Structure 1
Amino acid sequence: MKQIFNWVLTHPKTVVLMLLLTTALAASQMRNLHIETDMDAMLPKHSDAYVNKQVLEERFGSTDLVIVGIINDKKDGIYNTHSLAIIQELTNWMEEQPLFRTLALNDLLSLDTIKDIRGSEAGLDVEQFMDGLPDNQEQIDHIKQRMHAFGVYEDVIVSADGSGTIVAVKPMPNSRSHYAEIYDLVKGKVAEIEARGGSERFFISGRPVIEGVFGAYMPAEMKRMQPIVMALLLLLLYLSFRTPRGVLLPIVVVLMAEIWTLGTMAALGAPIYTITTMLPILILAIGIADAVHFLSRERLLAHHRAYAHRKERMVEVMHELWKPMLMTTVTTGAGFLSMLASDLLPIQDFGMYATIGIVYALLITMLLLPAALMILPEKVKHAERKPLFSGYVEWLGGAVLKHPKRILSFFAILLVISSIGLMRLDVNASLVDQFKPGDPLRQADKLLNEHFSGTTSLDVMIDTGRENGLLEPVFLQHLIDLQEEIEKDPMVGDTGSISEFLQTMNQALHADDPAWHRVPESSDMAAQYLLLYSFSGAPDDFETFITGDYRHAHVRINMKTDETKVVTALLERMQIKTDLWFPADQGFKVEWAGTGFTVSRLSEMIIHGQVASLATSIIAIFLLCWWMFKRLLIAAIAMVPVTLAVTVNYGMMGNVGIPLDIATALTGAMALGIGVDFAIHYLHRYHEESEAGNSYEACVINTNRSVGHAILFNSFVVIGGFLVLLTAALYPQMKLGALIAATMVVCYLATCYLFPVLLGMGKKKIKV
């Protein structure tokens, strides 16, 4: 390695030029980066949630709707000319927008489009509830009375008390990349209506809106948080080194590593997901550690004037640090690469590109810093300055040696409290809960769920196995049975199927006698009803519930929450019923889809991926430490800080009530990967002190003097960098920032306080 080091130090300008050209090449690729907010795109393509969603959209169209809720708290609610005029205006406006699909009835649902079904001498009369704007109160009251009598759309389109209504529209199938634009478009129209005055309140929600807001927040958050973290790093570097080169060189290292990483992502066509927006922050916070260790060691040698010539000093620093820096990079990479064990694509990408970024940071550190220091003129007065917090670092060694029992007691209590929290840990992959409790979108979703049947879709697709199979009375009745069973769940607002409409037609064709509100008595009768309806209505009004060959049926479920435990409990309960009413041995096939089902599957994958990644990273890091230190006992001790930190992390989540989700699931492997750096640097230096024949006490004090400052600074940077995420607009980033910061505090305390106590246990002190 010394030959490589000598070449770098002999050709510093060439090295810097090569690094700058590579950075320019990576930067040129960044224009190809794109953002992915589609939750289905995060799933593996073989997942039943992904496959079933594609089948659902192919057979019945998308069930993802942009929802505009209109609430009027006055006496008549929305049943007044002003509110009804707004509904009509908003409906007409949506029909004109190219980003919306409005061909069929279920593409655009509002009081101005939905249809009433009544019997007549000619058969069935199908007409819109609101055929033009009503002229007087009598016409308005008639609409209200028919809406209540029809029942199918009550609490779905109009609330039961008449205080609110929704206008819901499907985006065009190819408009997913325009969801943020759609949200801005609808928000602009609503603002225009609100500016005219009135007692109506407006709320916008729906899965396309949620994904659109994510798409708007993500790039904005990346741009906003980057300078904050940069300012924090500049401040910490200045306080630590108090020299221009000590501040600027580490910053250049991590900025280059960041550009290289994003350029690599762009070149490979990798999208930016919600969690991968944190990669730049991660690289800034973690990638700077090697630069800090390098400059700290170089300054310490310069301070003691250990070498007469700068080149000799640089060679010694590079020779001394390349192994521990390589090992920390490898172990950190092992922690992040363990995320490849997850089935979720965002977590896989996060782990892979975080590892690439950390490797880039090491490579740039070992090339740029020695080359730059060789080019820059050496200033002796800078080398003579003592590091910041030197007093604390000196005190630390003595404090650990004086109070080992207190330190052990503290960590034992922390472990017990965390173990209790582990038993309370829950999982929740809710989309809405990814926004802060006070976020306008989350508040809108909450209010719409209170007034209407729910904004979360859950879908059941049933293949009867034969043409015209869904027209059979037994099957139609079992659809009703399934709906009634589902609606027993308090978190289900409403369900819909073809059976509901056939019941209504049956009653309408029997003089509106409630006794006939049941499914038709034969398949032929059901087919005739649908034919009669098509004469007055439109043939495609029911395309969201049935296929043209009457083989496949769809039951729509509106839920008032997308919380994992609620959806999963419903799915488990309904599995028993669907096996009973639609048995596979009779040719039936039942498939679930929709946002609720995707959330449930995401949670399962989060749990499986978390267990797999933690197990993989623990084994990999342990084996690497064993290989590095050649002793099982030392490898086990090296794992103590990170294992303790992970336990405390998940225990804290359980105690505070923070569930595992797609962001917080990252914390375990991240803590293992980042935190083990502290242990390796500490043990590597302790090993050298031990090899020099020093006593246990001298080893502890000298190790603190040598690496204590760098570990402390690294802790400040990582903790501060992730605490910046507390200012994020997205809740996952906030939670991840707080958890990683807290975990790194535990890692630091365990490394610098618990480590030396463990190494000093027993009659014979442990040799590393």
Structure 2
Amino acid sequence: MKKILKHDRLIITIIAIITLFFAFQLPKIEIDNDIMTFLPDSNKSVIVNNKMEDIFGSSENMIVAVKVRNGNIFTSKNIKLIDQMTEELEAIKNVDEVTSFSNSDYIEGTSEGMVVEELVKEIPESESEITDFKSRLLSWDFYKNNLYSNNFKATQLLVSLKDGISAEQEDNLYYDIKEITNKYEQENLTTYIAGTSAINVLLGDKMIEDVKYLIPFIILILFLALFLFFRKILPVILIMLTVSISTIWSVGLMAMLGIKMTLVSTVIPVLLLAVGSAYGIHILSHYYDYLAAEKGKISLQRRQEIVMKTVDSMGKPVLLAGLTTVAGFGSLATSKIVPIKNFGLFTALGILVAFIIAILMIPALLLVINRRNNNSNDRNYSEVKHFEKLIIKLHNFYSQKSISLLLIIFLIVIVSLVGMDKIIIDSPLINMFKENTEIRQADKFINNNFAGSSILTVLVEGNEKGSLTNPEILKSMEEMQNYLMANNQEVGKASSISTFIKRMNRVMHYPSTAAENNQEAAGTEKQDQQNSDGESSSFYKGSDNNAESGISSFYSNSEKESSAGTSSFYSESENSSETSSSSFYKEDQSKQSEQNNSEAVIENKGPDTKNNLSEYELVSLLNNALAEADSLNLSSEEFVGLINKKLNYKGAKYNEIPYDLSKYPVQNRQGLKNLVSQYLLLYSGSLDDMINDQLEPDKARMLIQLNNPSNIVTARIKQDILDYGKENFPENYNLSVAGHANMSLAANELIIGSQINSIIVSFIIVFIIVALAYRSIIAGIYGVIPLAFSLLINFALMGYTGIKLDIGTAMVASVAIGIGVDYTIHFLDKYHENRLKTDDLHQVTRNTLISTGKAIIFNALSVAAGFLVLLFSNFYPLVYLGLLIAVTMFTSSLASMTILPLILKIFKPKFISKKL
């Protein structure tokens, strides 16, 4: 080391050049908080999500929720405002499309068949027009809790983003949306912006805000703490220079390699400033102690000798402390969570740089400064005696009450083990923000008033083209949707292609009166009427025999039907073919007899529009509808639905997947499949986000909206999905779960594995380094005991206070080991030195605590103070990280000065008195 330090100016020059190089790299740093960055490409959830996006396109979106402060959304003015907002949002650059009730597709039935039109064709003005619009909106439950809230005071607009836009473009898009929505705040409207893309933007903005304010804050705290300890400006400058250089090197290298800054890596500058100071503190503390021990005038040569003496005496403990700290942070590189892995690697690098700078640059600068101040005769050196009285009292207390201390330690361990069992593992991105933030309030509003902002997507795959038109799989999907909503209150809505097929099936079976009314309301003329030969243009063509006999038009409207009227709402004539209900498929009596009822005939009757209901009929209707309910706990909406179904109001009986052969004029299951295929053929809207092919789909996507972002909830619902699919889906269909909620869950599941692996690796490396340094396995065990004790307290604190194990707190253990091991190493080194001088263990401990204890305490306090700055972070994971690290600094330093000397005194290990 002496040979190296002879080139002090060269050392300073080289470090300065490297620092400038990395400083110029800093502007290149980018921010990325997409959930995808948290997971490796090989993760199953990433693979499934990429597959889903390859098939159905990107799912990146922002949700704009609009609340009417007075009244409800069903006024002409409010409907017009939503329409204007929709148009303005669609005009924003990089917006793919905007979906609102002003431009959503509406599937309707007319006498000609199925019509797909806009839900709002013209802005309703009169009360009757508004009622008609409201009726259309409420007629399809697909819109419920998406386009309107239950209290009718709010609606949503879904803003879909173009594929492949950059983080900067996403950021600009968010603020363009915000600028537009803010204009409508003056129109009796309150707007909220949420969704995964909005979260990503605000994560980045709040991160920049954290870095902007927290780093100057921690520099100020550290500067004041160092000055109060040393009472001199020079050591403060030297230490601040050391930590600044290590931070620039580490972050600069990240920028140079294109490693993007995430929520986790924003902690790196804070951590390096707080932790990197330890090496300089120990070196300069001992340097000034040596100077204070000198008598008389101190010559230049003597001062230079003291510099070398300090390096020689502190070289080993600082090296060991540096290596073990690097090992502690480096253990995070075993994590499968990419930001944590990068955090571990670059923090370890920064710590290594801090050690090198401290052991090379601080002595080099002292040598140069001493030569510059050669004419100074001022001693102005005094031994730093901070905490000395406290340390002596502490030592006197526990040295006389060893048994009591052991009992206290045992009790703390038991209580901590119980607390560990209470830890909750949960890390949804939205919960990283504080409750009073705009994004958190927006997410809460949407989850309370709509189906939910957290999305799980289910990919259903068949084994051949067209396999997703099979009624069996469509019915299974629809039943799974119903099951999930009935058994999980957090599922706000589940929708898929089955939702659309049910609607199509219903409108294709509208009773003739309802269909004709819809036709008249649309202002169009009926076409393809039944001609004189009894032939018609029909949505569905049966067998050749049926064609020859002449299947009626979609809604048969013969004179016979018109004159005969409809049968009663609760009973049907046994001779239904002779009565005059309109029918989807109506066959000639003779042909029907010839087929021996091999094909069913749909009796597509609706409620009687001419005859008044008697009291008895009304009561019978209500009771029969109630009798068909699955339970008595019905809402008014559900009860009305039962009545609609009982009367077949607007085809309510057919609001189902066509599955029952007895209800449809087909001969076999293939006929039902063909029926579904023709529905898709007739549908003029786009179903690209639901199926992979409009005519012969073999892949379909189901959307599960969750009103609770918790990963614990997501895990339970995901398991429900997989279990239900395994037990109830037909053979030859594969089911997999994707979506942002699923990737958040995957990151959550990796946390516990990351935590365990990093702790094990940290302990093993610390054990090996200490064991090798003292050439004793027992020494390695002694080295990890204080760390284990402090970690137990850390996890107990999390369990008892409800602090969750998340992306931030998952790093606490490794950080605590990496930093806390320094105290153990410095204590063991000084204890060993004093143990070689005397066998009086009381005096050995006292001398050790007086000489190195004050540096340990100050180092712990300065690191704790540095991390407590994180209490002012915008993110809960960083707030809790700062709090827990501060606590572990206290417990690990206290353990190294109490538990460690206690067990050294009780067991008297040989390694501590052996000359190395």
The normalised TM-score by structure 1 is: 0.95
What SS is found at the alignment partner of 1:213? helix
Alignment pair present for 1:40 and 2:40: no
Query: In 1, are the aligned partners of 2:146 and 2:451 still within 8 Å (CA)?
Result: yes
Counterpart secondary structure, 2:864: helix
Counterpart of 2:358 (choices 362, 365, 370) is 365
1:208 aligns with 2:221: no
2:689 aligned partner, one-letter code:
E
Determine if contact 1:759/1:766 at 8 Å carries over to the other structure: no
CA distance in 2, matches of 1:737, 1:345: 21
The alpha carbon displacement at 1:385 in A equals: 5.0
Residue 464 of structure 2: aligned partner: 466
Query: Which of these residues, 132, 135, 138, is aligned with residue 142 of structure 1?
Result: 132
For residue 694 of structure 1, report the CA deviation from its aligned partner: 4.5
Of 672, 675, 690 in structure 2, the residue corresponding to residue 544 of structure 1 is 690
Counterpart of 2:85 in structure 1 is: 90
| Pairs within 5 Å for 1:291-690 | 291-305=280-294, 309-377=302-370, 380-384=378-382, 386-488=384-486, 489-511=488-510, 512-521=650-659, 522-534=672-684, 538=685, 540-548=686-694, 549-582=696-729, 586-690=731-835
Q: 2:189 corresponds to which letter in structure 1?
A: E
User: Mind listing any 5+ residue stretches in structure 2 that lack a counterpart?
Assistant: 511-649, 660-671
- SS state at 1:513 partner: helix
Counterpart Cα distance in 2 of 1:707 and 1:438: 45
Cα displacement string for residues 76-115 of structure 1 (whole angstroms, at most 9, x for unaligned residues): x11113322221122101111112112xxxxx22111212
Quick check: 2:766–2:783 contact (8 Å CA) kept in 1? no
Q: Does 1:158 align with 2:136?
A: no
In structure 2, C-alpha distance between the alignment counterparts of 1:456 and 1:497, rounded to whole Å: 16
Instruction: Give the one of 673, 694, 708 matched to 2:853.
Output: 708
Q: Give the deviation of 1:175 after TM superposition.
A: 1.9
* Alignment match, 2:164: 174
CA distance in 2, matches of 1:646, 1:179: 41
Aligned-partner Cα distance in 2 for 1:413–1:282: 32
Give 1:105's aligned residue.
none
In our comparison, the structure showing a higher alpha carbon Rg is: 2
Verify: 1:71 aligned to 2:209, yes or no.
no
Q: Secondary structure at the match of 2:380?
A: helix
1:295-322 Cα deviation digits (max 9, x unpaired): 0010000000188611211111111111
Q: Deviations over 1:179-217 (max 9, x none)?
A: 3322222222222221xx233221111010001100111
Any conservation in 1 of the 2:470–2:673 contact (CA below 8 Å)?
A: yes
- Rounded to whole Å, the distance in 2 between the matches of 1:84 and 1:579 is 44
Tell me, what secondary structure is at the counterpart of 1:383?
coil
Q: Secondary structure at the match of 1:639?
A: helix
The CA deviation at 1:570 is: 1.2
Match of 2:565 in 1: none
Aligned partner letter, 2:75: N
1:500-548 Cα shifts (integer Å, max 9, x gaps): 11111111111122111111351211121122221xxx3x244334434
TM-score after normalising by structure 2: 0.80
Q: Secondary structure at the match of 2:262?
A: coil
CA distance, structure 1, for counterparts of residue 264 and residue 289 of structure 2: 38
The answer to whether structure 1 residue 266 and structure 2 residue 265 are counterparts is no
**Mean alpha-carbon deviation: is it higher for 716-725 or for 182-191?**
182-191
Contact residue 109 and residue 157 of structure 1 kept, 8 A: no
Write out per-residue CA displacement over residues 629-676 of structure 1, whole angstroms, 9 at most, x where no aligned residue: 222333222211111111111111111111111111111111111111
SS in 2 for 1:760: helix
Could you tell which deviates more after superposition, 63-72 or 281-290? 63-72
In 2, are the aligned partners of 1:59 and 1:547 still within 8 Å (CA)?
no
When the two chains are superposed, the root-mean-square deviation of aligned CA atoms in Å is 1.8
User: Secondary structure of the equivalent of 1:37?
Assistant: coil
> 2: CA distance between counterparts of 1:271 and 1:447?
32
CA deviations over 1:162-187 (Å, ceiling 9, x no partner): 11100111112122413332222222
The residue that corresponds to 1:722 in the other structure is 867
- Equivalent position to 1:187, from 178, 181, 184: 178
**Contact 1:396–1:704 (CA under 8 A) maintained in structure 2:** no
Distance 1:764 1:514 in 2: 85
Q: Please tell me whether the aligned partners of residues 696 and 765 of structure 1 are also in contact (alpha carbons under 8 angstroms).
A: no
Moved more, 233-242 or 704-713: 704-713
Letter in 2 for 1:557: I
Q: Which whole-Å CA distance do the structure 1 matches of 2:460 and 2:656 have between them?
A: 20
Aligned partners of 1:182 and 1:212 also within 8 Å: no
Q: Which residue of 1 aligns with 2:525?
A: none
Name the amino acid aligned to 2:503.
T
Determine what percentage of the aligned residue pairs are the same residue. 27
Is the Cα contact below 8 Å between 1:297 and 1:317 reproduced in 2? yes
| 8 A Cα contact 2:30 2:261, kept in partner | yes
State the distance in 1 between where 2:35 and 2:907 align: 54
Aligned to 1:290: 279
* Cα 1:657–1:764 shift into 2, 3 Å: closer
Shift of 1:734: 0.6
More helix by share: 1
Q: Distance in 1 between matches of 2:707 and 2:906?
A: 57
User: Contact between 1:338 and 1:351, CA under 8 Å: does it hold in 2?
Assistant: yes
Q: How far is the alpha carbon of 1:223 from its aligned partner?
A: 1.5
Distance of 2:874 and 2:77 partners within structure 1? 36
Structure 1 residue 248: deviation in Å? 0.8
Give the 3 Å change call, closer, same or farther, for CA 337–502 of structure 1 in structure 2. Answer: same
Q: Describe the shift of the 1:517–1:318 C-alpha distance in structure 2 as closer, same or farther (beyond 3 A).
A: same
Superposed counterparts of 1:101-140, under 5 Å: 101-102=96-97, 108-140=98-130
Figure out how many residues of one structure are paired with residues of the other and give that number. Answer: 750
Question: What SS is found at the alignment partner of 1:590?
Answer: strand
- 8 Å Cα contact 1:241-1:388 kept in structure 2: no
Show CA shifts across 1:656-709 (max 9, x none).
111111111111111111111100000011000001225101111111111111
CA distance in 2, matches of 1:632, 1:418: 27
CA distance in 2, matches of 1:260, 1:376: 25
1:345 Cα shift? 0.6
**Matched residues in 2 for 1:74 and 1:32: separation?**
49
Distance in structure 1 (CA, Å) of the matches to 2:80 and 2:109 = 29
Establish whether residue 7 from structure 1 lines up as the match of residue 4 from structure 2.
yes
Q: Give the match for residue 608 of structure 2.
A: none
